[in-house]
Structure 1
Amino acid sequence: MPGRSPSPTWRLGTRQVKRLGYGAMQLAGPGVFGPPKDRDAALAVLREVIACGVDHIDTSDYYGPHVTNQLIREALSPYPDDLVIVTKIGARRGADGSWLPATSPDALWQAVHDNLRNLGLEALDVVNLRLWGDGHGPAEGSLAAELTVLAELQQQGLVRHIGLSNVTARQVGEGRGICEIVCVQNHYNLVHRTDDALIDELAAAGTAYVPFFPLGGFSPLQSAGLTEVAARVGATPMQVALAWLLQRAPNILLIPGTGSVAHLRENIAAGVLDLSGEAIAALNTIAAGSASVRA
C-alpha cells in the first residue's frame, strides 16, 4: 500500500460523506451507561463536530441507553441538511449496564421507533443491524430473520438505508440477497486486520466499511513502532493510526469518538495527514507482527 493522499469522500447510501466522521458512544457515562459527567461539555462536543464540517455521526439508542441520541437531538436539531446520522439496533442494556442481544422482531421494531423518537426524526438515514458473537467478534449464523424485519421497516419508510455490524463475509453475502447493504461496521484497526479481504471486496462493490475500535477501543493501540512513526511525521500515535486507516482503502469511513473538544480537533486533523510509503511499510510491519502473535 503506497503512501498517497486519501480520497476525501465516499458514498453512504445515496449520500457522499466525508470519510472522517464522529462516533457518539463516549458521550454517555462510564461504560457507555447513564448520563455524561458533564452534559454541557457533551453538547459542546456535538456542536463542534458540526462546526468542524463533519457530516456523518454514528450513534445508537442503546448508548446510555437513550442518552447519546437525546444529546444529539438537543445539540443539533433541527439538523443540517448534509448531516447523515447512522444508528445501530440489535441490543439492549441490562439494569447493571450489561450488553444484551435484542434481535426478536418486536425488539427490532421497538429499537427503530426508540431511535426515531429520541433523535426527533421521521426516518432514519442508516440503520445497522448489530449481530452478536464471541465478545466483540462475529459468529457465523443466518441473519435472514432479523434482516427481513429491518427490510420491512425500510419498506414502510422508517429506514432509508440498511447496514450490518459485527458480521462475517458470508453473512454480508446473505444480507445482500435480502436487501441492499450500504455499509459494514466491524472491528478493525492497525493491528486487528481480520477483515482485510472483506474490505477490498466491499471497496470493489462501492460499499462503505466502518471500523469500530479504530484506535483499539477498551485497549488503546500501543506500539513502539507506531510511536516512532508518529514522532517522525510530527503527529500523535492515534493520528497516525487514523491516517493509516484512511490510506488503507478508499471505502473506509472513520468514526473515532471522544468527549473532548480538543481531542475531537486532534482526530479531525488526522484527515489531512499524508503518510509516506516508508511510513506505511513500517506500520504494516507492526500489523504483521501482531498477527503472528495472535496466531
Structure 2
Amino acid sequence: MTSDTFRIGKAIEVRRLGFGAMKLPTDAGSRESSIAVARRAVELGVTLIDTAYLYGWGANEELLVEALHPFPKDVLVTTKVGVVPPDPPRDATLCGRPEVLRDQVERALRRLRVERLDLLQLHRVDPEVPLADQVGTLRDLRDEGKIGHIGLSEVTVAELDEAREIVAIASVQNRYNLLDREHEAVLDACTAAGIAFLPWRPVLPATTAGEVAAVAAELGATPAQVALAWLLGRSPVVLPIPGTASIVHLEENVAAAGLRLADRHRARLDALRAE
C-alpha cells in the first residue's frame, strides 16, 4: 500500500498532499481570509507548504509568517528563488547569477524568520547562466548552513542529471497532472532516484474532462479529488501542492489523500490525455 508520507532528501518527513500558497491574496482586504486558509491547512494535517519570492515579491512568504510563525516543527515551508521583479520595460525575468541567488536566499531567511531554509528550490534554470554556477551557488549556501536541501523547478532529465553531478537534489517541481504529462520522463527519473516530485498545477485542466467527472460520480467524490488521488497513486515520490484561497476547497483537496482508486478507475484515467 502506498505510504501517505515521504521523506524529502531522505530526511524531512512530510505528508504527501501539500498546499501551494501561491493563490493566497496578500492585499489588506483579503489578508485575514488568507491567513485563515493557511492556518486551516496546518490544522488539517498539511505539513508541506510551497511558496516563492515570485509570489508577490516576498509578500506571500510574509503572509505565511504572519499566519504560522513560529512554524510548527513538523511543517516544512519551502520557497524558491531565481526570478527578479519587473524593471520597465522589462517584465519579471529569470536571473540565476550567483550574487542574485545569494541575495535572494539571504532575504528569504529574513522574511521567513528562520536560520535555515530546509528546502530551497531554484524557480527556473536561467539559460544565460551556466547551470553549474546556479546549482553551485546553492551548494555553497547549503555548505554554509543557510540551506538544508536543494530542489529544482521546470527542469529536463538532462538538467536534473547535470545538477546531481554537482550536488544532491532533493526535489523537482514541474508542471504535471492527469492530462498534462509532458514531464513524464522527469517524474520517472525522480521515482528511480527517490527524489520528491512536486507537481504544480496538479488539478486543472483535469477537472474539465468528462471521464474524470464520471469516475468522481461513481466514487462520490469531486473531480479535483479524483485528479489528486490519481497523482498520489502515480508514484510514491509525488507530492501534489494544490492551491486555493477557499477553506471549502482546501478541505476537499486534503480529503483526497483518503481516496483510493480501484484498478478499473485508474485504467480509465491512465488512458486520458489532453486534447
- TM-score tier, shorter chain, comes to over 0.9
Unaligned runs of 5+ residues in structure 1 are 30-34, 134-138
SS in 2 for 1:126: strand
Q: Is the 8 A contact 2:15 2:46 kept in 1?
A: yes
1:239 to 225, 230, 249: 225
Unaligned runs of 5+ residues in structure 2 are none
Letter in 1 for 2:222: T
Whether 1:76 aligns to 2:68 is yes
Distance in 2 (CA, whole Å) between partners of 1:93 and 1:163 is: 21
Distance in 1 (CA, whole Å) between partners of 2:153 and 2:128 is: 13
Distance in 2 (CA, whole Å) between partners of 1:157 and 1:43 is: 30
Distance in 1 (CA, whole Å) between partners of 2:129 and 2:191 is: 24
Letter in 2 for 1:24: A
Aligned residues: CA RMSD? 2.0
Whether 1:66 aligns to 2:36 is no
> TM-score, length-normalised on structure 2?
0.93
Count matched residues.
273
2:104 to 101, 111, 117: 111
Whether 1:129 aligns to 2:138 is no
Aligned to 1:50: 42
Aligned to 1:211: 199
Aligned to 1:100: 93
Distance in 1 (CA, whole Å) between partners of 2:62 and 2:159 is: 32
SS in 1 for 2:66: helix
Distance 1:95 1:258, change over 3 A: farther
The alpha-carbon deviation at position 36 of structure 1 amounts to: 6.3
The alpha-carbon deviation at position 140 of structure 1 amounts to: 11
Q: Percent identity?
A: 40
SS in 1 for 2:198: strand
1:6 to 2, 13, 21: 2
Mapping for residues 1-295 of structure 1, pairs under 5 Å: 6-13=2-9, 14-28=11-25, 35=27, 37-94=29-86, 98-132=91-125, 142-216=130-204, 221-287=207-273, 290=274, 293=275
> TM-score, length-normalised on structure 1?
0.87
The alpha-carbon deviation at position 261 of structure 1 amounts to: 1.0
Distance 1:55 1:116, change over 3 A: same
Q: Is the 8 A contact 2:54 2:83 kept in 1?
A: yes
Q: Which moved more, 1:199-208 or 1:41-50?
A: 199-208
Distance in 2 (CA, whole Å) between partners of 1:162 and 1:277 is: 35
Q: Is the 8 A contact 2:85 2:93 kept in 1?
A: yes
Distance 1:220 1:190, change over 3 A: closer
The alpha-carbon deviation at position 284 of structure 1 amounts to: 1.3
Q: Is the 8 A contact 2:97 2:129 kept in 1?
A: no
Q: Looking at both structures, which has the greater relative contact order when contacts are Cα pairs under 8 Å and sequence separation is at least 6?
A: 1
